[in-house]
């Protein structure tokens, strides 16, 4: 084996190891991350946009657009934290069905992301916001009904 | 007392109660919220921008600007979750000093927010990003050194 081939093999192996290290997930970190993102989404969707839609909080365009934009930026982040190996490792409400029917989970998740993506534009108008909060809430609820347990499991 | 005055008093009292309900915080929710936001900031600042600055992850302008914008939107959110009554209620690493020297804490917190605010522009260029990640990291560390405990307390 000449040195050039040796070097190519070494580089390939090194890259492979680096790639594996990069992709390596600590289940407890992924569980904590998806819970954190969902918590921030919940506070800003429910506590800001939902409260405005219900008239519990006065509508304010700048606040609404900011919260909607934030929720939109967050919505897709935890999708990568429900991958293989993250089924357990810390207390979680994630239903094990997620890992048994990834296609169905992904469809429910993507529906939420798609509805959330309409929030920033809708947030510019109180009536449009109210309607889009309702549609988004349905998508959240559908995924929670199917894939979120009522209590934490270990 | 005429009915108009009665109505004004009733409206004032009702608004006052609604205002109080709005401002009411559950300490455990505020603790969880500030931890959630910090976790999402940590993943996107450290895991994306910090990793790019250190060369552990390839620089990609779109990814960098997106992560920087997200961190910028998040940075100020938990400031309101360190208010009176949130010193304890769930395991936390927040140093009780925060509630004894709010002015010093606020100054350290605001310094972090100010450095984070420079990240989205800096993220457009790898050298600028690296420099601003270093400055932001210093502000994070300074506040953590002074106001974050090493271990959780109850």
ipTM of this complex prediction, to 2 decimal places: 0.83
Nearest to B70 among A33, A36, A73 (CB): A73
DSSP at B93: E
Q: Region A37-52: what's the mean pLDDT? A: 97
Q: Region A31-44: what's the mean pLDDT? A: 97
Average pLDDT, chain B: 88
Nearest CA distance, A87 vs chain B (angstrom)? 20
- pLDDT value at B149 more than 60: yes
Nearest CA distance, A73 vs chain B (angstrom)? 7
Q: Region A37-56: what's the mean pLDDT? A: 97
Angle between helices A27-44 and B27-44 (to 10 degrees): 120
**Chain B residues with CB inside 8 Å of A14's CB?**
none
Q: How far, CA to CA in Å, does A100 sit from each of A40, B24, B29, B35, B139? A: 27, 41, 32, 30, 44
Nearest CA distance, A1 vs chain B (angstrom)? 31
Q: What pLDDT, on the 0 to 100 scale, is given for residue A9?
A: 44
Q: What band does A24 get if pLDDT is binned at 50, 70 and 90?
A: low
What are the two backbone dihedrals, phi and then psi, of residue B72, each rounded to the nearest 5 degrees?
-65, -40
Q: How far apart are CA A28 and CA A34, in angstroms?
A: 10
**Chain B residues with CB inside 8 Å of A43's CB?**
33
CB-based contacts of A54: which residues, under 8 Å, 6+ apart? none
Average pLDDT, chain A: 88
Nearest to A70 among B33, B57, B73 (CB): B73
**Is A35 close to B40, i.e. CB distance below 8 A?**
no
* Interface test with chain A among B14, B36, B38, B50, by most A beta carbons within 10 Å: B36
Angle between helices B27-44 and B61-75 (to 10 degrees): 160
What percentage of chain B's residues is helix, strand, coil (to nearest 5)?
75, 5, 20
Q: What band does B116 get if pLDDT is binned at 50, 70 and 90?
A: very high
Answer whether A108's CB lies under 8 Å from A143's CB.
Answer: yes
Burial class (CB in 10 A: 0-12, 13-18, 19+), B33: buried
**Strands B92-94 and A148-153, bridge-based pairing:** unpaired
Q: Region B66-72: what's the mean pLDDT? A: 98
- pLDDT value at A6 more than 60: no
**Chain B residues with CB inside 8 Å of A36's CB?**
35-37, 39-40
- pLDDT value at B109 more than 60: yes
Answer whether A121's CB lies under 8 Å from A71's CB.
Answer: no
Q: How far apart are CA B53 and CA B86, in angstroms?
A: 35
Nearest to B39 among A32, A57, A70 (CB): A32
Answer whether A99's CB lies under 8 Å from A83's CB.
Answer: no
Nearest CA distance, B3 vs chain A (angstrom)? 26
Percent of chain B with pLDDT over 90: 82
**Is B32 close to A43, i.e. CB distance below 8 A?**
no
Q: What band does A19 get if pLDDT is binned at 50, 70 and 90?
A: very low
Answer whether A119's CB lies under 8 Å from A64's CB.
Answer: no
**Is B73 close to A69, i.e. CB distance below 8 A?**
yes
Nearest CA distance, A146 vs chain B (angstrom)? 24
Q: What pLDDT, on the 0 to 100 scale, is given for residue A80?
A: 85
Q: How far apart are CA B47 and CA B67, in angstroms?
A: 10
Q: What band does B24 get if pLDDT is binned at 50, 70 and 90?
A: low
- pLDDT value at B15 more than 80: no
Q: What pLDDT, on the 0 to 100 scale, is given for residue B3?
A: 52
Answer whether B137's CB lies under 8 Å from B116's CB.
Answer: no
Residues pairing with A148 in the sheet: A94
What are the two backbone dihedrals, phi and then psi, of residue B83, each rounded to the nearest 5 degrees?
-75, 180
Q: What pLDDT, on the 0 to 100 scale, is given for residue B48?
A: 97
Q: What pLDDT, on the 0 to 100 scale, is given for residue A38?
A: 97
As given in the structure block, the two tokens for residue B101 are 């020297």
Answer whether B115's CB lies under 8 Å from B132's CB.
Answer: yes
Q: What pLDDT, on the 0 to 100 scale, is given for residue A3?
A: 52
Residues A69-120: tens digit of each pLDDT: 999 999 999 988 999 999 999 999 999 999 999 999 999 999 999 999 999 9
Q: Region B56-60: what's the mean pLDDT? A: 97
């Amino acid at each position: 084996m000449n040195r050039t081939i040796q070097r190519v093999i070494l580089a390939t192996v090194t890259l492979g190891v680096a790639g594996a290290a990069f992709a390596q997930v600590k289940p407890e970190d992924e569980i904590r991350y998806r819970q954190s993102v969902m918590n921030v989404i919940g506070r800003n969707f429910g506590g800001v946009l939902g409260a405005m839609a219900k008239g519990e909080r006065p509508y304010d365009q700048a606040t609404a657009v900011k919260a909607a934009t934030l929720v939109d930026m967050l919505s897709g982040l935890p999708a990568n934290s429900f991958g293989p190996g993250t089924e357990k490792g810390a207390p979680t409400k994630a239903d094990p069905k997620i890992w048994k029917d990834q296609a169905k989970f992904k469809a429910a998740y993507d529906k939420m992301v798609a509805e959330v993506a309409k929030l920033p534009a809708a947030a510019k108008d109180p009536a449009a916001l109210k309607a889009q909060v309702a549609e988004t809430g349905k998508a959240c609820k559908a995924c929670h009904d199917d894939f979120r347990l009522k209590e934490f499991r270990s």
